[in-house]
Amino acid sequence: MTKRVIVGISGGVDSAVSAYLLKQQGYEVWGVFMKNWEGEGEACTVEEDMREATLVASTLGIPLYSFNFSQDYWDRVFSRFLEEYKKGITPNPDILCNKEIKFKAFLEKCQELDADFIATGHYARIRPDDGALLKGLDPNKDQSYFLYAVPIEALRRCLFPVGELPKSQVRQIAREIGLPNADRKDSTGICFIGPGKFREFLGGYLGSQPGEIVDPEGRVLGRHEGLMYHTIGQRKGLGIGGPGEAWYVYGKDLENKRLLVAQGNEHPCLFAPGLIMDETHSLMGDQLEVGDYTAKIRYRQQDQACKVSAAENGGYAVHFEQPQRAISPGQSIVLYRGEVCCGGGVIQTAITQ
């Protein structure tokens, strides 16, 4: 019996080529466009994406349906996104969206439609013998970082066809088969905000919570409109020019609403030898093992050698071989052994000594 795969068709080239490859492999392929955001002032390109998805489905000769997960997204992702920013930390909504929407709500809906698998255009791989999550073969596009929090049981129901290919080959396939989005640019920025509109969007929900900008010696250099509008390592948008090197955010004094900045890209305040993580998720067992790994504290970072141990007050401590720059609470650290993604957690705080 032919197995049914439901592909999340986003309007981008990666999901389109994924659907094509699965059809070539003999699967019964259905496409689904997921609408995860709606409302006034919508900054993402939902209508354009839907048009592209419709053209892709027509070109490939597959049915296309639309699922509306906007309420699920609001409840499970966006509400937490706002709560984390209110606390002055920087969350990663893409990781939470994968965990709660794409590989949970979407998977559950597809199972109701008797799908054997779901598929997306992520650059990652699933090892056939044990379902382990592997890095995508294109090191510049590997997206396993965004999938570490997806339960292994869900990953075993997923197919990632483009994870075996470099991006250049994906675009070449799209051109050869006449896909309308073969040369469409990859999306950037947070999906419901879009590039370059972050502070304006967030301000509509969180307003202004001003405070002082201070240097490591405690000197006041200016004022900010809210700690939530800034992230560790940020250079632009601080409004504190002057002589010498540029200023960078190295920390936040939440109690006093102070934004902490230091001058120079390599200032010691920007670096820390380790971190504490919580909200951990293991892809290799019931809980994370202590021991040696490599890790990424942000997408596309080079793997960094580290050792993971149990922290005194719960969670895990991670100590790196080399000090890491701009460790950002709220972001995720993802752990690897070779090409295998072992899991990860949310950064709680940097270890400064």
Question: Could you give the CA distance from residue 145 to residue 149 in angstroms, rounded to a whole number?
Answer: 9
The catalytically annotated residue of 44, 97, 306, 342 is: 97
Distances in Å between the Cα of 279 and the Cα atoms of 13, 102, 115, 125 are: 33, 20, 31, 24
97 is a catalytic site residue: yes
What does each C-alpha distance from 4 to 77, 105, 171 come to in angstroms? 29, 18, 25
List 191, 306, 341, 342, catalytic entry: 191
Which residues partner with 272 through β-bridges? 324
User: What gap in Å lies between CA 153 and CA 130, rounded to an integer?
Assistant: 11
For the chain, counts of helices (H) and of strands (E)? 9, 17
Tokens of 283: 């892809």
Give Cα 75 to chain centroid, integer Å.
18
Residue 191 annotated in active site: yes
Phi/psi for 228 (5° steps) reads -65, -15
Asked whether the beta carbons of 146 and 95 are under 8 A apart, the reply is yes
Instruction: Quote the tokens at residue 43.
Output: 């900054």
Token pair for 272: 């820390």
Alpha carbon of residue 145 to chain centroid: 7
Residues designated catalytic: 97, 191
